[in-house]
Amino acid sequence: MANIVWHTKLRILIDLNKDDLDHPEFPDLWETIYRIDRYHGRLRTPVHERELQCGGVCREQGVEAWMHLRVRNGRREAVHERSEDEARHVVPMSDEHKAYQERILRAAEEGGFHGDSEVRTRAGRSWIQTDTLVEGSDGRRIGWEVQLSTIGSDGLCGVRARAAKAEKNGITPAWHTDRSDYAQRHDTHWTRSDNLPAYVIARSGDLRVVSGFRKLDFWHCDVHAVHPCPNGVRRCGKAHATPVPKDVLFDVLVRRTAAGTIVPIQFRTPTKLHRFWVTDTDQDRYHDLLSDDTQLPEPAIDAPAPASASRNRPTCRPGLIATTSPLLTPPAAPSPATLHSPLPAQPRSPATEAISGTATSSSAETDLVPRPGPAIQTGLPDTLIVLQQAADTEHVKLQQLADNEERRQQRSVWFEAAHAAQSAITQYARTKRLNRYEVEKEIRRLVRHPENTPAE
């Protein structure tokens, strides 16, 4: 197919990408030439007698390639008469594309599955061309299509039609890309990795899939829920599922899709239909939720395998190399007895504290590294406790309100009280040269769990 047509009788170039065919002086040009071409088609007139030639690559190379017109899925198309003329318009496969094909086949073989590249599968009266087809267990067939950043802006036209055609003929489509705008489409199940050179893709390091695989978080819609209600109400009391992004290694994805332990899913929200990959366990739980959303589906019976370190080097772009420095060594964790033992109060520190000679002579890089403060070794001021109690009280009031306007006003009051408490904690920790996290932790323990305070 081509988008530029040369009309041998009118002696003009016709651009099918433009509504007016790049000839605004002829308002009915498309209707005229398409009606004539269809008329010749009904009369079975040979294509080389229909006055239309390829005006793009073939014409630039001095080849007379005859064409006919058609409309498919609402899109105007010009089709070559001979397949060798069509082959001139095919963009050569990039090295990155070849590296992905080789990696898919290698990962499938390591998992005990067979695969092949550029497979043509009969689909009725036509064919399906698959970049890499993996034969999985139980007759499962995964058709991997790789679309990289080297393709043109019109390279994704008809993705949904191709995916639907593959599904109709027993092939599970799996589209992989390195472009974020392609991965955000929902016409098929997309996965995405970082934009990497061919030699990095081909090696046996860990190639990470950064989008397209999700973990479903099942939760009950009550006042304790973290996620907002998808139905747009405050709390509906039903059970919901929320997809959470989760990374997976590309080789693992290839093998587990062939084995059937990672499957495609269509997740419907009130405004959109999302397509991504999940584990087969999450898929079963999601189907149970769709059948009855009044209660949470049963959790997975089999516990997930413990995580282990990979023996492969990561496949990623070269970045900063982390070095071991004594300045970045974390301090030893304080013992529980140190945190909870009653300590004598210290006098108020002066406005300007003396700095030791070692700290004064430190370099600029050393000053940028945050030094962990010592564990809390003093009693805390009553002002911090009162401010934290006030913030917690306002938060409790917020949870007891049902009206949206009242909740909005109370939320502002709670934010102000929490800001005052956090600011006071920060100022106290900076003045006393203490670890702010430990100060805040101790304040919250004293306010929320006073029964755990050791007796003096």
pLDDT confidence of residue 336: 46
Tell me, yes or no, whether 325 lies in a domain. Answer: no
pLDDT confidence of residue 365: 37
Listed as ranges, residues in the chain with pLDDT below 70 are 1-2, 61, 90-92, 123-126, 149-157, 300-378, 452-456
pLDDT confidence of residue 279: 94
pLDDT confidence of residue 369: 38
Residues 107, 201 share a domain:
yes
pLDDT confidence of residue 281: 92
Tell me, yes or no, whether 375 lies in a domain. Answer: yes
Domain boundary among 68, 87, 106: 87
Residues 98, 82 share a domain:
no
Tell me, yes or no, whether 445 lies in a domain. Answer: yes
Tell me, yes or no, whether 164 lies in a domain. Answer: yes
Please indicate, yes or no, whether the overall pTM of this predicted structure exceeds 0.75: no
In the block, which residue shows the tokens 């006030």?
390
- Domains in the chain, number: 3
pLDDT confidence of residue 130: 86
Tell me, yes or no, whether 237 lies in a domain. Answer: no
Output the six-digit token pair for 136.
Answer: 């999985």
pLDDT confidence of residue 331: 45
pLDDT confidence of residue 311: 61
Tell me which residue range forms the domain holding 185. Answer: 94-213+242-300
Domain boundary among 300, 316, 346: 300
User: How many angstroms separate the CA atoms of 221 and 214, rounded?
Assistant: 21
Q: What angle do CA 451, 455, 456 make, to 5 degrees?
A: 150
Domain boundary among 32, 59, 87: 87
Residues 166, 249 share a domain:
yes
Residues 41, 162 share a domain:
no
pLDDT confidence of residue 106: 92
How far, in Å, are 119, 307, 312, 347, 441 from residue 256 at the CA level? 21, 16, 18, 63, 43
Residues 257, 127 share a domain:
yes
pLDDT confidence of residue 76: 87
Residues 272, 136 share a domain:
yes
Cβ contacts of 129-138, under 8 Å, gap ≥ 24: 130/166, 130/171, 131/97, 131/101, 132/100, 132/101, 132/104, 132/105, 133/171, 134/104, 134/108, 134/254, 134/257, 134/258, 135/258, 136/257, 136/258, 136/259, 136/260, 137/113, 137/258, 137/259, 137/260, 138/260
The torsion angles phi and psi of 159, rounded to 5 degrees, stand at -65, -45
Residues 436, 379 share a domain:
yes
